[in-house]
Amino acid sequence: MIFESRDMAQKTILFQILTDTQYSREVFPSLKEDFFDNENKFIFKNIKKFQREYKKTPKIQELVISLKSLPDEERKRAAEAMKALKEASKDLKEVDKEVLVKETEEYIKGALFFQSLLKGADAIEEHNDDLMKESFKIAEEAMKFSIETDLGVELFEIGTIAERFKEEEGIKVGVPAFDEMYGGITRKTLNTIMSPSGVGKSAALASFACEMAKQGEDVIIVSLEMSVVQFYRRILSNLFEVPVYGIKNRNKTFLKNKLQEIQRKHPNLGKIIVMEYPAGSLSPLQLEGILDKVAVKKGIKKPVLMVDYLGLMKSDLYSPSVGTYTYVGSIAEELRAIAQKRDLIIFSPMQLNRSAIGNLEANQSTLAESMKVYMTVDSAFLILQTEEMKAQGKMKIYFTKNRFSGKTGHFEIGYDYEHFRFKEAKKLETIEKIDLLDESDEFQKNLDEYLKGKEVVSKVLEEDF
């Protein structure tokens, strides 16, 4: 932290507003009087008054001149406040602009949380549900808050646009059939795999993780269901060409030699980290904290993140009492926000209900979780399988949502369960349209919840804006 105290944070922000036009443009719209104390609040109020009158943020000298027109008592207070700001500015060190904006963002988040706590305390003392709702709303604002510094790209900045096109080429998962459908997965996206329990969600993640690591991508797998040992059995059997049932019987020397062999074969082999947490114990906010630690201690800043699986996380914004649609849907939105903020590709599977077991006609309407998740993700495919297909090592893949290439369709693919990897697919069949609606009671219920959620959001927007 570059801010040594709350007072120094406030004085730094005020000084930068008065001396740095770019910083002021980025930060000033997000600031409120309640974020400042005593003489700092007094200065901010007068900066805001100047801004309203002259449609610009004042320089120090302009603010000083405007303060001279105040009544005697206020002018005396203004002089003392400016003197304190001038004294504090002597100790301000040169700080990288990006770091300063980031620290200011964290300060504003903290100020909002503090307001939320005060409002919550009043709510408890007065037994006031409306105040408690206000407290939750401020806390939600704090968690979602960010200072937006990207003001877009103009058409005439054609060089920048060309660079963006290169970025949009995306990352391959290393399995030809999937790469043909995806066309390359771009960062800042949340992607899901849907299947009934035990059909292949974790198996798909294991295959993708190994193939992407071979291409030089660092992969972090966060498991909320399977142990680290179980996941690594799958990963090592894939990488080392050893049947999964034989991995646990191999000694350290054998495994070390195999690792060196795979590193020689793939000199840019990315890191793979697997960690496990109990179901319902990990929220997106906690996940961000873990990613921060991994970035510092492991040097991994932009991994491909795999969370197995989304429905087993907990929300930072809601309690389960709000219902599955809102609760699980919020987790998806929070995860996607992490992907966008940290420039990540995130995979997180979802579970289909029991009616999808052995049913090759199942679709996303059989989601056991919130349909709001499906609306949020950037891509989704289903893994369906009969018992006969499983015995033959086959899976049916249905792409139902794809913001990358736009392709939707289905294909049959082999899966080597001994080494946990996809095998060559049969010819892909692209279909014009996936039927999103059916007549099932389950889907109609999900659809009603979705439409009801849209009405609530529209009402909130109308009230607030």
Kindly report whether the global pTM for this prediction surpasses the value 0.85: no
What are the residue ranges spanned by the domains of the chain? 6-144, 171-439
pLDDT of residue 323: 84
What distance in Å separates the CA atoms of residue 275 and residue 255, rounded to the nearest whole number?
20
pLDDT of residue 96: 65
- pLDDT band for position 427 (cuts 50, 70, 90): low
Question: How many other CB atoms sit within 10 Å of the CB of residue 372?
Answer: 23
User: Looking at the domain that runs over 6-144, which CATH code has it been given?
Assistant: 1.10.860.10
Whether omega for the bond prior to residue 374 falls within 30 degrees of 0, making it cis, is no
> 411, 423 in Cβ contact below 8 A?
no
pLDDT of residue 375: 87
Share of the chain above pLDDT 90, in %: 26
What distance in Å separates the CA atoms of residue 368 and residue 384, rounded to the nearest whole number?
15
> 173, 397 in Cβ contact below 8 A?
no
Lowest mean pLDDT segment, chosen from 16-25, 197-206, 268-277, 427-436: 427-436
What are the distances in angstroms from CA 463 to CA 144, 331, 342, 456? 19, 25, 31, 11
- pLDDT band for position 2 (cuts 50, 70, 90): low
Lowest mean pLDDT segment, chosen from 43-57, 163-177, 305-319: 163-177
What are the distances in angstroms from CA 462 to CA 89, 121, 132, 146, 453? 43, 29, 21, 23, 14
pLDDT of residue 215: 92
Lowest mean pLDDT segment, chosen from 42-56, 203-217, 265-279: 42-56
- pLDDT band for position 239 (cuts 50, 70, 90): very high
pLDDT of residue 460: 35
What distance in Å separates the CA atoms of residue 372 and residue 331, rounded to the nearest whole number?
10
What are the distances in angstroms from CA 360 to CA 36, 387, 412, 463? 60, 11, 11, 45
pLDDT at 270 over 90: yes
> What is the pLDDT averaged over residues 95-102?
73
- pLDDT top residue among 252 and 69: 252
Query: 36: closest CA among 74, 7, 58?
Result: 7
* Contacts within 8 Å (CB) and 24+ apart, 239-248: 239/210, 239/213, 241/419, 242/419, 243/418, 243/419, 244/417, 244/418, 244/419, 244/420, 245/418
What distance in Å separates the CA atoms of residue 119 and residue 239, rounded to the nearest whole number?
54
Query: 171-439, which class in CATH?
Result: alpha beta
- pLDDT band for position 130 (cuts 50, 70, 90): confident
What distance in Å separates the CA atoms of residue 199 and residue 351, rounded to the nearest whole number?
10
